[in-house]
Chain A
Amino acid sequence: MSLRDGPLGEIKPPLVWLAAGALIIGILAALALFALGGARTGPFGDARRAADGLIAPAGGVLAMPVRVAAGGAGVIQDYFFAGSQNRELRGDLAAALSWRDEALTLRQENARLRALLGVRTEPPLPMVAAETVLDARGPFSNSRLANAGSVEGVTEGNPVLSEHGLVGRIVGVGAHVSRIMLLSDVDSRTPVMIARTNGRAILTGDGGSEPELAYLRTHDALQVGDRVLTSGDGGVVPRGLPVGAATKGLDGTWRVALDSDAEPIDFVRVLLFKDFVQVASPTELTPSQMPNTATDAPETPAPASVPLAAKANPTKPPPPGTARP
């Protein structure tokens, strides 16, 4: 017997009630989904990766004709404004030549001081070039899709740079696609330092174009235009990557005008950086390379932090109780 033939079959609830019921169920389901999948690296990671894998090729195809058209427009513009551009470039070249001389002098001095102090230089980090194919700029999420993924060696947490500066870091990776969380995203927290004062701060995104400098600790007062670099604190990103310039926000807080915002972020470089052990060059940290000073200590492998400390201060003796191979 169907439900319609039973005693309940005569009940016909008003359409508005049914709609209201569906609405309440929808809101409860949405809130439950938010509670479960609110974190971006939560239990729905596979769904996100699958969606990104579908979205990225479509974004690449759709963006291509506009890019070609923009490139064509650029060529025409260059043709008509060649004279004024030439004058500007001559000025830039004159300034760059004086900077080059200063840079060469500083490089030689730097190399001499490094040799004098016995500082080991960090090995270059491998990187992967990628093209951004989608860009979300809303106040609640600022992310991009890049067409390089796990097959190219990209992993979650890798820092991403444009030609001008740090863009963000990888928060999701598919086979040939990865999701970049921009520095301006409300979830983004990046340890930075002020180049002039060596003061520290946490660059905190809020969905706007200029992230805030939170927890600012510096002895000297910050000045508008001060260069802001990554500090490397916490091991999230390598030290010294360009971020932007300090600026005063409308609300009176210190913010950063991002270098990466100066031009369209069409192409990015994903630094295949995982942690500082990678920077410390594992070949130099093998047990055979370490001085064998302790004879009574047991033969146990040293933790990763010990070689790092040894690298930072090679002459310092190990703390009591620390095993040395």
Chain B
Amino acid sequence: MIARRARPISPIVWLAAPMIAALVLSFVLALPLRIEGLALPEPVFALVPAFAWAIVRPSILPPLALFALGVALDLLWGGPLGLWETCLLAAYTLVFVSRRMLSGQEFWALWGAYAVACGGAMAVGFVLTALRAGHAPGLVGVGLQFAVTVALYPFAWKLVERYEAADTRY
């Protein structure tokens, strides 16, 4: 039986596609709609690729892509520039430095790691906002956004599962 070599996967597939998907979903959930009087949740979709890219492959492109995603989120949500760039890169850094430990872990263990990465990003956002505004953001709001973002883990797992063993190049 002839061993088939994995086909190299273009960065457009494993970097650009999740990036665009995260942006579009963030945009859709930012529409001013209410269902039965309740506003739509506002998870940080960009934390999904931030987690998955760090596990899939160390590369110089994900930090650049996360920076661009952060700028887009700041402009979309009207927040101060530099906030989400720093938060996303903080989450990426947490996963990047523990990549060897996390690589190959099972579903639930990675969910825990994803929650820690999300928590790190939210903590950085909390500190930067408190420093800038001179007033700490409410922990309830931070906790809610953290919870709905952690619930997005299955998307991150799909990305990791799909591209971890693939021949991703840049």
Which residues of A approach B to under 8 Å, CB–CB?
15-16, 18-23, 25-27, 29-40, 42, 44, 47-48, 51-52, 55, 58-59, 62-63, 66-67, 70, 132-141, 143-145, 171-172, 179, 181, 186-187, 204, 206-209, 250, 264-266
Contact = CB atoms under 8 A, between A and B. Distances in A.
Interface string B107-140: 0000000000000000001101100110111101
B89 A23 contact: yes
Contacts of B89: 23, 26-27, 30
A26 B141 contact: no
Contacts of A55: 27, 75-76
Contacts of A141: 77-80, 83
A172 B78 contact: yes
Interface string B73-107: 00111111111011001101100100000000000
Interface string B11-31: 000000000000000011011
B58 interface: yes
Interface of B: 27-28, 30-34, 39, 42, 44, 58-64, 66-67, 70-71, 75-83, 85-86, 89-90, 92-93, 96, 125-126, 128-129, 132-133, 135-138, 140-142, 144-145
Given A51-B75, A134-B32, A143-B77, A186 B64 contact: no
Interface-central residue, B71, B76, B142, by most chain A CB under 10 Å: B76
Contacts of A171: 78
A325 to B, nearest CB: 43
B96 A26 contact: no
B78 A20 contact: no
Given A55-B75, A204-B135, A206-B135, A34 B80 contact: yes
A23 B32 contact: no
Given A19-B63, A66-B31, A135-B39, A140 B138 contact: no
Given A23-B89, A33-B85, A34-B128, 4 more contacts: A18-B59, A23-B96, A139-B142, A141-B77
A206 B76 contact: no
Contacts of A179: 78
B63 A25 contact: yes
25 contacts: A20-B96, A21-B60, A22-B59, A29-B67, A30-B89, A31-B82, A34-B132, A36-B82, A37-B80, A39-B132, A40-B79, A40-B80, A44-B81, A51-B75, A52-B78, A55-B76, A62-B28, A63-B32, A63-B33, A136-B42, A139-B145, A179-B78, A186-B135, A209-B141, A250-B140
A25 B137 CA distance: 28
Contact of B60 (A22, A27, A32, A135): A22
B140 A208 contact: yes
Contacts of B27: 55, 58-59, 62
A137 B39 contact: yes
A251 B40 CA distance: 25
Across the A-B interface, the 10 shortest Cβ-Cβ residue pairs: A34-B82, A37-B81, A139-B141, A30-B85, A33-B82, A141-B79, A143-B78, A208-B138, A136-B77, A26-B63
A136 B79 contact: yes
